[in-house]
Amino acid sequence: MANHHENQSMIAPSISLRRRGMDFLVTCAAGGAVVLVLLPLGAVFGYLVYKGVGSINLAFLTETPKPPGETGGGMANAIAGSSLILLLGSLVGVPVGIGAGVYLAEYGRNRLGNLIRFTADVLNGVPSIIVGIVAYGLVVLTQGHFSALAGGVALAIMMIPTITRTTEEMLLLVPNSVREAAYGLGVPRWRTTLSITLRTATSGVITGVMLAFARVAGETAPLLFTAFGNQFWNWKVNQPTAALPLQIFTYAISPYDDWHKQAWAGALILIILIVFSVSAVRFVASRGMLKGAN
Amino acid sequence: MGVGVKVEKLNAWYGKSQALYDITMQAQANHATALIGPSGCGKSTFVRCLNRMHETVPDARADGKVLVGDLSVYNGTTAVQIRRRIGMVFQKPNPFPTMSIYDNVAAGLKLNGFRDHHRLDEIVERSLKHAALWDEVKDTVRKKSGASLSGGQQQRLCIARALAVEPEVLLMDEPCSALDPISTGKIEELIFQLKEKYTIVIVTHNMQQASRVAEFTGFFLLGRLIEFDKTEKIFTTPSDKRTEDYITGRFG
């Protein structure tokens, strides 16, 4: 390589210099863009650690909130509540989203498909507070009380369009020749879709699911009048439930200094939980990958 | 054992444009039949009609009589049943990219409900040996992805995958067009051995290849089968002027 460069510069030194200069500039620009992307993330995380890490202790992770005015206590019930609501949301949202994405990619080249695509895109742009109102109408009013289930349904509605569209796109990236290979072996179409096409696109579909999950994990507005919040432990699906974003919101707007500190700590825990669950899923998924698979 | 393929008055369309006109021919059991002709003449469409892959293209349809052994392809059988008896190797190697070499070969059986793991091991090894790939991959058969192999190896993997379901007929749609001469040589050698057990119909752009591997050759032009005869006859004393023009390189 080095030789090649020198030869070139002997023939036309000015071009080589210009090329090298341009190469340097573009590399710097790309590097700068990476820094610009990482900077806000680093800043947010760093500030949360700075403000929140001091208030994280065993009590914070194991106890329920103390009454207003008293110091101490923790957000254990909110951490558990958030996990419960996210689990419920994913149980509803992931299968529906992937199912709709499969339909769109494999069977949806018709008017119904276009309608679903349009609906999903509009749903993606609906403000989250409105999704909360819909879940309120659907679940809270029919049940007669706030519940973790209502929160889960609200989050599921927010997850579905993202998962649907990314699943569709990832399936369309699978070359048609792969489907043909399966048909050629006498594998029926439905089986090809499930065991070949979807399997080939697995890592992309998981990325879509994790994007949707991370996005709704921090949502507060749709939980305000669905999960509602709770000062105590709750493991029941049909009872009002604490959630980290709600707890952070309540504590942040309160007049107490100790609650402010706890809100920072809660925010830090929330981010750590999201990063942890996304990386855990990626790790498990990548263990199933083979050498040289793409 | 292979069975013969008998085609009578086969017509095929893509939407409104007709791609094949009244094709009538016969591929003898345990022989290789080559189909030659310029690009777009319908030879690929023709082989794709034999295992009903043609109809997977939107708006495509075909009608006519195709008999594979005693099985009527367009009458009372499902496409899935047909394709289990007629294997296919495509122009570009198309292994399942996220599956191991082993799973690629086992795919046809596994996805159709075959669960006997011991037998499966045997079939995978036998198919890979049959496709002359076993020695090159036996140590990594479960660890490496099918997509990590070289192009020629991938194509032999696809042949092994087709053989694992024990078809009676093997259709090959320009199986060497994406391969280098050494890989091409290996696959031609393979076709020679495969003839003992299977009936082979091979589409090729390479006339030398047709003369090397096939006992019978058909010449396609603009959707019609112009001439069908013993390979030797086609390449030495063709009876149709157009065949002669094509094989002597005057067009195409």
Q: Domains in chain A, please, with CATH?
A: 81-242 (1.10.3720.10)
**How confident is the model at residue B94, as a pLDDT?**
94
Q: Which of A185, A202, A290 minimises the CB distance to B108?
A: A185
Q: Which of B82, B90, B148 minimises the CB distance to A181?
A: B90
Are the C-beta atoms of residues B149 and A294 closer than 8 Å to each other? no
Does A182 reach chain B within 8 Å, measured CB to CB?
yes
With CB atoms and an 8 Å threshold, state whether B53 touches A183.
yes
Q: Is residue B17 part of a domain?
A: yes
- Chain A residues with CB-CB distance to B81 below 8 A: 186
Residue in B with minimal Cα distance to A200: B98
Q: Is residue B145 part of a domain?
A: no
- Chain B residues with CB-CB distance to A206 below 8 A: none
Q: Is residue B117 part of a domain?
A: no
Does B158 reach chain A within 8 Å, measured CB to CB?
yes
The residues pairing with B12 across neighbouring beta strands, listed in sequence order, are: B20, B62
Q: Give the residues of chain B that fall short of pLDDT 70.
A: 251-252
> Which residue type does B58 have?
P
What pTM value is reported for the model?
0.85
* Burial readout B165-180 (b: 16 or more C-beta within 10 A, e: otherwise): bbbbbbbbbbbbebbe
pLDDT in tens, chain A (294 residues): 444 555 554 555 667 888 999 999 999 999 999 999 999 999 999 999 999 998 899 988 998 888 887 888 889 999 999 999 999 999 999 999 999 999 999 999 899 999 999 999 999 999 999 999 999 999 999 999 999 999 999 999 999 999 999 999 999 999 999 999 999 999 999 999 999 999 999 989 999 999 999 999 999 999 999 998 888 888 888 899 999 999 999 999 999 888 999 999 999 999 999 999 999 988 888 876 665 554
**How confident is the model at residue A221, as a pLDDT?**
93
CATH label of the domain that carries residue B179: 3.40.50.300
Which residues lie below 8 Å from residue A110, measured CB to CB, with a gap of 6+?
none
Question: Please, which contacts does B75-82 make with residues 24 or more away whose CB atoms are closer than 8 Å?
Answer: B79/A183, B79/B51, B79/B52, B79/B55, B80/A186, B80/A187, B80/A188, B81/A186, B82/A186, B82/B51, B82/B52
With CB atoms and an 8 Å threshold, state whether A202 touches B99.
no
Does B102 reach chain A within 8 Å, measured CB to CB?
no
Q: Which of A180, A187, A291 minimises the CB distance to B90?
A: A180
Average pLDDT, chain A: 90
Domain that holds residue B65: 5-98+167-247
* ipTM of the shown complex: 0.90
Q: Which of B56, B147, B161 minimises the CB distance to A293?
A: B147
Residue in B with minimal Cα distance to A197: B96
User: How far is it, in rounded angstroms, from Cα A93 to Cα A135?
Assistant: 13
**Per-position DSSP letters for chain B, written without gaps between them:** ----EEEEEEEEEETTEEEEEEEEEEE-TTSEEEEE-STTSSHHHHHHHHTT-GGGSTTEEEEEEEEETTEETTSS--HHHHHHHEEEE-SS----TTSBHHHHHHHHHHTTT---HHHHHHHHHHHHHHTT-HHHHTTSTTTBBGGGS-HHHHHHHHHHHHHHT--SEEEEESTTTTS-HHHHHHHHHHHHHHTTT-EEEEE-S-HHHHHHH-SEEEEEETTEEEEEEEHHHHHHS-SSHHHHHHHTTS--
Q: Is residue B118 part of a domain?
A: no
Task: Write out pLDDT tens, residues A197-218.
Answer: 999 999 899 999 999 999 999 9
Q: What total of structural domains would you count in chain B? A: 1
- Chain A residues with CB-CB distance to B108 below 8 A: 185-187
Q: Is residue B156 part of a domain?
A: no
**Per-position DSSP letters for B121-154, written without gaps between them:** HHHHHHHHHHTT-HHHHTTSTTTBBGGGS-HHHH
Does A195 reach chain B within 8 Å, measured CB to CB?
yes
Residue in A with minimal Cα distance to B109: A185
User: How far is it, in rounded angstroms, from Cα B101 to Cα B184?
Assistant: 21
Q: Is residue B224 part of a domain?
A: yes
Provide the CB-side half-sphere exposure for B212 (13 A, CA).
15
Q: Is residue B200 part of a domain?
A: yes
Residue in A with minimal Cα distance to B50: A184
